[in-house]
Amino acid sequence: MTQYIYEFGPQKNQGNATLKNLLGGKGANLAEMATLGLPVPPGFTISTECCNHYFDLGGRFPDSLEAKITCAMENIERQIKMKFGDENNPLLVSCRSGARSSMPGMMETILNVGLCSTTIPGLIAKTGNEWFVYDAYRRLIMMYSDVVMEKAEQIKPQNGMGIRLNLEMMMNNLKNDKGYTNDTDISCEDMKILCSRFKKKIHETLNIEFPDDPKEQLMGAIGAVFKSWNGRRAVSYRRIEHIPDNWGTAVNVQSMVFGNMGETSATGVAFSRDPATGDNKFYGEWLVNAQGEDVVAGTRTPNPLNNDTKNTQNRHLSSLEEAMPELYAQLFDIRNTLESHYKDMQDIEFTIQEGHLYMLQCRVGKRTATAALNMAMDMFEQGMIDEKTMICRLDPKMLDDMLHPIVDPAAEKTAEKITEGLPAGPGGAWGQIVFTSEDAVAWAKSNKHVILLREETNPEDIEGMRAACAILTARGGMTSHAALVARGWGKCCIVGAGAMKINATTKELRVGANIFHEGDFITLNGTKGIVYQGRLKMTDSLENPRFQKFMAIADSYRTMKVRANADTPEDAKIALAFGAEGIGLFRTEHMFYGSDSGKPLFLLRKMILSKSKEERQVALDELFPFVKQEISNTLSVMGTLPVTLRLLDPPLHEFVPQSQENQQEIADALRIDLEEVLKRSALLKESNPMIGHRGVRLGITFPEITRMQVTAIFEACAELIRAGKNPLPEIMVPVTCNEKELAFTHKIVTECYDNTLAKYGIKTIPYLFGTMIETPRAALIADKMAKYAQFFSFGTNDLTQMTFGFSRDDIGSFMNEYIDNAILTSDPFETLDQEAVGSLIEISVERGKKTRPDIKLGICGEHGGDPKSVVFCHKAGLTYVSCSPYRIPIARLAAAQAAILN
């Protein structure tokens, strides 16, 4: 029989950290901490396997589960000598989610399960603390009604006013009426009244009574945690993070310990190192007389964990080190134990109940890219991890965050500071302020840079947080929801900017005498925690010596080379700065798009609209020197590194002049009237231009176009060789589907080569001739293509388009629905589809090598900079990947990790 329940605690422990996939991160690590002898309250974990079975049964528990839960609860009761549902000595438990991959705030937790009319008197008598019992009860009512009674039942609240928001408004109204500042100020009598009003409101709103039976509460809570795996925000987070739907969540049922039992009780969240900078300092926050949700929700600004990490925002608050030195010393020892054991930075949750410390969670902590780099290198230098582990510690996507812009220090000197808060997320960002998650999404869709401004974020804001380029909150600490999520995404974020007064209704921000409205520009320095007025200049943060050292070590393990997609000398210089080992895609048509391209574009249009070969040749002769010079400039920058030059690829109609002025200019040049220009332009239009008259097909119809480009390449090389340089061009023929196309083109290339050698009186020009594999047919007949092609470069943008039958220019109209409905797990134009497109690549590699064992193999689609796709390319045996210059570090690290892990 399948084991669904795994117990943990000081007396019985059935799990460990290796069972993360089955027990989720939280359950596996609770068991591991218990094994280490740390003070973990006993409990049990219901497995992710049970979660999936629950959904397979249509939202019903497996038949044997309830009896097994009863048995596991009895084991907890024996260990702590309390009984669930007992009138005199009641045990209370928490129900928490725990996926194998951390999803902070995305799923649900219910605390204080088991409190009801029969257990409340006994707990009051046992603790002698009536206020604590009713504070715990009102928390249960708020969580349970929200999670179990509303969200799990998929009840959509009217006007967005969910039951939890209704209850919070009731509590805030009571506080305002009575002059209470904090929740802890509420009197015991008022807390009783509030609980009674809560239950009445729940019945009015949801038309059901709040459950007064401990067992009903427990089974309802477990089911709701399972259901939260498919909650809207959890699904959204999984889509963003590419977490599979079939992983499921575990449920951790654990005996409650209470941080809200008075001044000798507390709760907190800590990191074994600073998650923002990576400094080897114990970092965290805590609250006296509180439960864990108070710290992460950001509703109260927490105290600093120790004196070492105090800052300008919390310097006046007492640290745990000052307030409870003995308990702090115990926690510090646990920090050292956990980091030494896991050999990675740990995110820790703890509770202090009447002077006793308990551990509720540890997991690998989320961190900024800079912190990840510093921690990995520090731990390697300290001997905690080896070199390979160090390299694999950084998610390659993190490098994108590390290279994000920072606020230009020169611009900061004269900028007007609005306010400051805690530096929760890295780098800098500017944008227009919006006050709701919905507005952030809508504005971002209109290509606006937005900064999401909130009192504090909550998990419901997940879509808006993702859409915004930065997040700014008035409340919360470094362990609040906003800070955790922003750090995980490498997004600029400042929290706890307490001077801000936000009115989300009027969409107005006040800071002192300054007033800001929706749409106003501000700039955030997420590294320093400073907010500036207006839009400040940004600069990149590439020149980091530690980053350069790390990448040099990573490169020593890499077996696959990384090139750049670059079309200009400027792009080539940037690519070299990022570590490119050549150019994998030089798009010859791009020389007609950029600056100073007016004249070449005019000549290209003249060539396109020529009606006879003679007219066309005149235009090509005029165009030739421009093409040669552009190619020469880029080859010169790249020195001895290879440059793959793709012959003209796009449909000709893309270059047809649209304005009457440009049309008339072409008419005059060709000595024809305007009507003839329009007629010739119309003839170039195609029904399906992306699979029409383009690429190699142009060269077969008009071989003079190929001849001009190839001659320009060879003559540019000949002149560079005469100047003492050693260019290495690779001529690539696009959109092929037949080896005879290559034979046709290769004949032209050979003629041009021989003519250039004769013209310049040189013996040889080193070059390669190859093709872009971007049609399924070309991939399947790779053995024939390789008779002529010395290299293949997989154009995965078009190969994906032609394999799926998706227009890459139009997928925005349906791709979100495909992903939301789990028809596809990710956008195939972002992450390579390994099942079909990947199979075509593998077939092509295998068949190409049979014909030409030394064939060079690369990829130049956008997938060349996607880490998962890079790993696939390594496994497939490719020689190199090519990507945009700014993604080169990502590809380099992904390639190094692929070599280490495979």
Catalytic residue IDs = 481, 860
Distance, CA of 465 to chain centre: 12
Q: Are 278 and 375 in contact (CB under 8 A)?
A: yes
- Per-residue H/E/C for 421-482: CEEEECCEEEEEEECCHHHHHHHHHCCCCEEEEECCCCHHHHHHHHHCCEEEECCCCCCCHH
Report phi then psi at 216, rounded to 5: -65, -40
Reading the block at residue 308, the tokens are 């070492």
Pull the structure tokens for residue 257.
């310990």
Q: Side chain identity at 671, as an amino acid letter?
A: R
Structure-block tokens of residue 297: 């929700």
Across-strand partners of 493?
A: 425, 471
Contact 372, 393 (CB under 8 A): yes
Residue 822 CA to residue 625 CA, distance in Å, equals: 52
Half-sphere exposure of residue 249: CA atoms within 13 angstroms, side-chain side: 29
370 closest CA partner among 231, 527, 183: 527
The answer to whether the Cα torsion of 689, 692, 697, 698 is positive or negative is negative
Opening angle at CA 585, ends 884 and 617, nearest 5:
135
Would you call 624 helix, strand, or coil by DSSP? helix
Q: How far apart are the first and last CA of the chain?
A: 36
Please tell me what DSSP assigns to residue 364.
E
CA 166 to chain centre: 33
Buried (b) or exposed (e) across 308-323, using 16+ Cβ within 10 A? Answer: ebbeebbeebebbbeb
Provide the token pair at 615. 């007219």
d(CA 167, CA 832): 47
For the chain, the maximum distance between any two Cα atoms, rounded to a whole number of angstroms, is 104
* Cross-strand bridge partners of residue 502: 509
Question: 460 near 440, Cβ under 8 Å?
Answer: no
Measure the CA–CA gap between 831 and 815, rounded to whole angstroms. 13
Go through 333-345 and write b for each residue having 16 or more CB atoms within 10 A of its CB, e for each that does not: ebbebbbebbebb
Task: Indicate the DSSP class of residue 267.
Answer: E
Q: For residues 308 and 226, what is the distance between their CA atoms, to the nearest angstrom? A: 40
**Per DSSP, which regions of 741-879 are E strands?**
768-773, 791-794, 856-859
β-bridge mates for residue 428, sequence order: 525
Number of neighbouring beta carbons within 10 Å of residue 517: 12
Cα–Cα distances in angstroms (integers) from residue 336 to residues 57, 281, 330, 386, 781, in the given order: 44, 11, 10, 19, 59
**CA-CA-CA-CA dihedral for 555, 557, 559, 561, to nearest 10:** -10
Whether the CB-CB separation of 636 and 570 falls below 8 Å is answered with no
User: Distance between CA 818 and CA 823 in Å, rounded?
Assistant: 5
Residue 433, CA distances (Å) to 314, 405, 447, 824, 827 in order: 26, 19, 14, 34, 29
CB 731 within 8 A of CB 713: yes
Do the Cβ atoms of 377 and 355 come closer than 8 Å?
no
Q: How far apart are CA 17 and CA 262, in angstroms?
A: 34
